[in-house]
Amino acid sequence: MTTGGDVPTMATVTIWNEYRHEREDEAVTAVYPDGIHETLADALADDHDVTTATFDEPEHGLTADVLERTDVLLWWGHEAHDEVSESVVDRVHQRVLEGMGLIVLHSGHYAKVFKRLMGTTCSLQYREDGATERLWVVDPGHPIADGLEESIELPRTEMYGEPFDVPEPDRLVFVSWFEGGEVFRSGCCYRRGSGRIFYFRPGHETYPIYEHDAVRRVVRNAVEWARPTDGAPRTFGERE
């Protein structure tokens, strides 16, 4: 936490991307030629110390060293969830409990580490129809909503519908309206251990969602919100 008058250091952000669709599917390559991670990095580069990591790197690019210096980790994955190494998941999980922020994007609801942190299936309903989504700010006092209008409109996207099998969020920031008749809790805040977790629904790979100004603003806000604070000791075990 910064106290008045101090200059806060920039958050160190690691953007993790599965990075498969962009190399396998021309429609996705057209939207994210350098990968979703690079588009997200571009949204954060001005105010953050950003690095990226992808599935195919050794240890998925998430070595102990990388995680140790990461303040906030972004996670985008889809088709390779089950292939993510258990030991990397263990490591990310432990770092979140120690205080590292975690922002889980779109299809990342099925990421191993998100399911582990939630304790539920994280299942939902979906339909790939390219219809309109409108994300309503239901908690206008939340810092993740800083600088937004009352809603964000995404002209074409995939639909996610309720029920969403997650624990009741600590704070619900966004609820999505979908043209086809569904709703979804699309911005959910949690804390587990000392770590702040934000699930943010937008980001389908075949639409340029991460080029959208308001979406980029949410990602930046969420990174600031999720930064670790000093806290008090987490001491466990036998006591004299």
* Closer residue to a copy of itself in complex, CB, 48/78: 48
- 130-159 binders of a copy of itself (CB under 8 A): 134, 136-143, 145-150, 159
163 binds a copy of itself (CB under 8 A): yes
To a copy of itself, the closest distance from the beta carbon of 3 in angstroms equals 5
At position 125, the amino acid (one-letter code) is Q
User: Across the strands, what pairs with 153?
Assistant: 134
Single residue of 26, 86, 168, 213 touching a copy of itself by CB under 8 A: 168
171 binds a copy of itself (CB under 8 A): yes
**Gap between the terminal Cα atoms of the chain:** 32
What is the CA 121 to chain-centroid distance, rounded? 17
Separation of alpha carbons 174 and 75, rounded Å: 19
To a copy of itself, the closest distance from the beta carbon of 80 in angstroms equals 20
> What are the distances in angstroms from CA 149 to CA 48, 125, 135, 137, 237?
24, 27, 10, 8, 48
User: Across the strands, what pairs with 101?
Assistant: 72
Q: What DSSP element (H or E) covers 112?
A: helix 112-118
Separation of alpha carbons 123 and 164, rounded Å: 6
To a copy of itself, the closest distance from the beta carbon of 183 in angstroms equals 5
- 194-223 binders of a copy of itself (CB under 8 A): 194-195, 220-221
181 binds a copy of itself (CB under 8 A): yes
To a copy of itself, the closest distance from the beta carbon of 62 in angstroms equals 19
* Closer residue to a copy of itself in complex, CB, 156/171: 171
Nearest in space to 94 (alpha carbons), one of 3, 210, 193, 239: 193
175 binds a copy of itself (CB under 8 A): yes
Cis peptide before 163 (omega within 30 of 0): yes
- 18-57 binders of a copy of itself (CB under 8 A): 47-48
* Closer residue to a copy of itself in complex, CB, 35/187: 187
* Closer residue to a copy of itself in complex, CB, 7/65: 7
183 binds a copy of itself (CB under 8 A): yes
> What are the distances in angstroms from CA 221 to CA 58, 174, 187, 197, 237?
30, 13, 12, 13, 36
To a copy of itself, the closest distance from the beta carbon of 88 in angstroms equals 17
The alpha-helical segments, DSSP class H, found in 8-100 are: 21-24, 26-31, 36-44, 64-68, 86-98
176 binds a copy of itself (CB under 8 A): yes
Single residue of 29, 57, 126, 206 touching a copy of itself by CB under 8 A: 126
70 binds a copy of itself (CB under 8 A): no
